[in-house]
Amino acid sequence: MWRTTYNSKMTFSAISALSPLDGRYAAKLSTLRPLTSELGYMHRRVQVEVAWFIALSDAGFAEFKPLSPGARTYLLGLVKNFSEADGEAIKAIEKTTNHDVKAVEYWIKSKFEARPELEHASEFVHFACTSEDINNTSHALQLRSSRDVVVLPALDKIILKLRDMAHAYADVPMLSRTHGQTASPTTVGKEIANVVVRLQTACERIANIKMLAKMNGAVGNYNAHLSAWPDFDWEAFSKKVIETPEPLGLGLTFQPYSIQIEPHDYMAELFDAVARTNTILIDLSRDIWGYVSLGYFKQKLKDGEVGSSTMPHKVNPIDFENAEGNLGLANAVLRHLSEKLPISRWQRDLTDSTVLRNIGVALGYAVLAYSSLMTGLNKLEINEAAIAEDLDSSWEVLAEPIQTVMRRFGLPQPYEQLKKFTRGAAMTRELMQGFIAGLDLPQSEKDRLLAMTPGSYTGKASELARRV
């Protein structure tokens, strides 16, 4: 067996990345990477430590006087100007500590050198905190930013595109298929409108999830805090730090009850909500793939692009296939996160920490899929001729309105008559109109049915499409 060996010290590049998220598709995830990468995680840890430190200075303790305006500006600058070089410096410290949160603490303290005011107060960095106080708040900040800055805006773009399509194609009649068989007509716009409404509801659920955080010590009881200042209201203080808007606070929602870790139920809710949204988009991707196959949509051509290495004619719906595949990968990780994170052995184990490092992976595959889906939607060109031809060869769908009018006027066995007449038979305009002509109906009703075509039998579809 031949084996290819690569230099383990090779310089990192896109084609040497283990994950396609940081390789082939790296450019498409540039907005997410600063938020969910390890660098982003360290950045948020620094933010939390600084917010806690400044708040402690304002708590009224004789041992820690309020910081000067200059010191506050400097500390907030550590957060605002946090760079990759700062992240590398923290990683260098971690080589000694073998503890990532402690490395952040030591890095912050290193920034106090030659600043007597801060040096004097340095032991109030990470005061009474357990690592999870810093980590859970940091994860909440990461998730909030990822949701608000990347995920929801990407979904909003899809919704806006689909809404435009729903309105543009509101009046384009289309044959429906239930169980893969011809069914009562609709319009292209109405079918797209269905997805718009589903996505709007799904996005509202994502947007309304509160990002919870706790800062209550090693097992959630403020044990260390009260050992230092037993008469101080640490719970109210913690709540204030967590809920005060940025930059002096964290702008999150206070979680009053926890073990060492925040229970992560809100995370499970968020990941489930994103996964459910992704499932809607899988449904859409498969449907559009099918409509492209039927010829209902053409795809805009791109010079130089190849559809098949051997069949020159092919223009494959690859964007919808890419979206479906990546949405599936996203949901696999999201569902593991939602099932795993609310479970902890006793007051703490590290299984949550292990999987939480993959938040960016889960959301990355989702965001990548959203990008592919948008690309595909923007390539679509409706083929009204193909849609009309399909309708015109499916006159059997008028069996429904005919038997419904027959029911209204009390004609015998209307359903059974139409079933016998149409089921399994090739229907034409002439055959359907001949059947109508023989019915004992008022002439005005006959005329109305005779004027009906598969393309006109769409109910309120156009109105419903324009409403979204």
Known catalytic residue at 99: no
| CA–CA distance, 461 with 429 (Å, rounded to integer) | 23
Average pLDDT over residues 243-268: 97
Whole-number percent of the chain with pLDDT over 90: 90
Catalytic residue among 16, 19, 293, 308: 308
Q: Is the distance from CB of 355 to CB of 313 less than 8 angstroms?
A: no
Indicate if the pLDDT at residue 400 is higher than 80.
yes
Question: Amino acid letter at 346?
Answer: W
Residue 341, pLDDT score: 96
Q: Which residues pair with 381 in a beta bridge?
A: 298
Residue 2, pLDDT score: 47
| CA–CA distance, 418 with 267 (Å, rounded to integer) | 54
Nearest to 298, CA basis, from 178, 385, 174, 374: 385
Q: Is the distance from CB of 51 to CB of 109 less than 8 angstroms?
A: no
Indicate if the pLDDT at residue 467 is higher than 60.
yes
Indicate if the pLDDT at residue 6 is higher than 60.
no
- The band of 4, judged by pLDDT with boundaries at 50, 70 and 90, is very low
What are the structural domains of the chain?
33-127 (1.10.275.10), 132-302+313-383 (1.20.200.10), 394-460 (1.10.40.30)
Residue 5, pLDDT score: 45
Indicate if the pLDDT at residue 397 is higher than 80.
yes
Q: Is the distance from CB of 106 to CB of 73 less than 8 angstroms?
A: no
Kindly report, residue by residue over 241-254, the tens digit of the pLDDT: 999 999 999 999 99
Residue 303, pLDDT score: 60
DSSP string, 243-262: HSPTTTS---EE----SSS-
Question: Amino acid letter at 202?
Answer: A
Kindly report, residue by residue over 34-66, the tens digit of the pLDDT: 999 999 999 999 999 999 999 999 999 999 999
Average pLDDT over residues 352-381: 96
Kindly report, residue by residue over 345-365, the tens digit of the pLDDT: 999 998 888 899 999 999 999
Residue 316, pLDDT score: 83
Q: Is the distance from CB of 383 to CB of 293 less than 8 angstroms?
A: no
How far CA 392 is from CA of 175, 234, 396, 430, in Å, comes to 9, 74, 10, 12
Residue 423, pLDDT score: 87
Average pLDDT over residues 167-186: 96
Length of the chain: 468
Indicate if the pLDDT at residue 154 is higher than 70.
yes
| CA–CA distance, 463 with 467 (Å, rounded to integer) | 6
Known catalytic residue at 308: yes
Residue 378, pLDDT score: 97
Q: What is the mean pLDDT of the chain?
A: 94
- The band of 426, judged by pLDDT with boundaries at 50, 70 and 90, is confident
- The band of 1, judged by pLDDT with boundaries at 50, 70 and 90, is very low
Kindly report, residue by residue over 296-308, the tens digit of the pLDDT: 999 987 765 655 5
Average pLDDT over residues 150-166: 98
Residue 309, pLDDT score: 45
For residue 81 the two structure tokens come to: 């100007």
CA angle 154, 159, 165 (to 5 degrees): 130
For residue 194 the two structure tokens come to: 């269905």
| CA–CA distance, 78 with 401 (Å, rounded to integer) | 71
Catalytic residue among 179, 309, 313, 444: 179
Average pLDDT over residues 164-182: 96
Kindly report, residue by residue over 63-112, the tens digit of the pLDDT: 999 999 999 999 999 999 999 999 999 999 999 999 999 999 999 999 99
| CA–CA distance, 196 with 124 (Å, rounded to integer) | 51
